Amino acid sequence: MAAPVPVEVFREGMRRLAASVTVLTTRRPDGGRVGMTATAVCSVSGEPPILLCCVNRANATRQAFVEAGVYAVNVLAEGEQEIASRFAARMDAEERFARGAWTTLETGAPVLESAVASFDCRIVQTVETGTHSIFFGEILAIAMRGAHVMPLLYAHGNYGGFSGVEAALNDIFWTPDWQVYDQ
């Protein structure tokens, strides 16, 4: 059986996987707000509506998720890099919320009013694997902005935006530059 690829190679490969930038939020039992930037979020089921998010077990926000039993996934809009950076930085949990207009929906988890979409979730299952906890959240409420608002994306260590097929067709001269890792 082949050995898994080295961690550095895995991380370099994952940097090429473009993903929406989200801020995961919840409230501690004392009412304090906590949150973190994440890209490891995806839909699981339409009926019932469930999504998942992955949180490193070493991240202090993880314990707040466990204690609260709820969380919100706030999909950031293009131009909200500063908010993404605040929630990725080491700073006081409440200080992170100094930027943006925040409200709540059903669960009391903080929801960013300018987000492309916010999913307010109740944790229905948690799976521990590797270095992370996977929180499955049943979606109790959703807030969405208009379809013209584009999400903030992250790939290759940089923030960016989405361009449709028309823009891609302008760059038709693609040259293969594959790098294959093989043991």
> Which of 16-30, 102-116, 161-175 comes out lowest in average pLDDT?
161-175
pLDDT band at 1 (very low <50, low <70, confident <90, very high): confident
pLDDT digits (tens, 9 = 90+) for 127-173: 999 999 999 999 999 999 999 899 999 999 999 988 766 655 665 55
Beta-bridge partners for 16: none
pLDDT band at 89 (very low <50, low <70, confident <90, very high): very high
Average pLDDT taken over every residue of the chain: 91
Which string of DSSP letters, residue by residue, matches 77-132?
Answer: BTT-HHHHHHHHSSS-TGGGGGSS-EEE-SS--EEETTSSEEEEEEEEEEEEETTE
Q: Is the dihedral of CA 81, 25, 108, 27 positive or negative?
A: negative
CATH superfamily of the 21-141 domain: Electron Transport, Fmn-binding Protein; Chain A (2.30.110.10)
- pLDDT value of residue 168: 58
- Where exactly are the structural domains of the chain? 21-141
Confidence of residue 176 (pLDDT cuts 50, 70, 90): low
User: What does the pLDDT average to over 46-56?
Assistant: 96
pTM: 0.88
What is the Cα–Cα distance from 14 to 65, expressed in whole angstroms?
A: 25
Average pLDDT over residues 50-62: 94
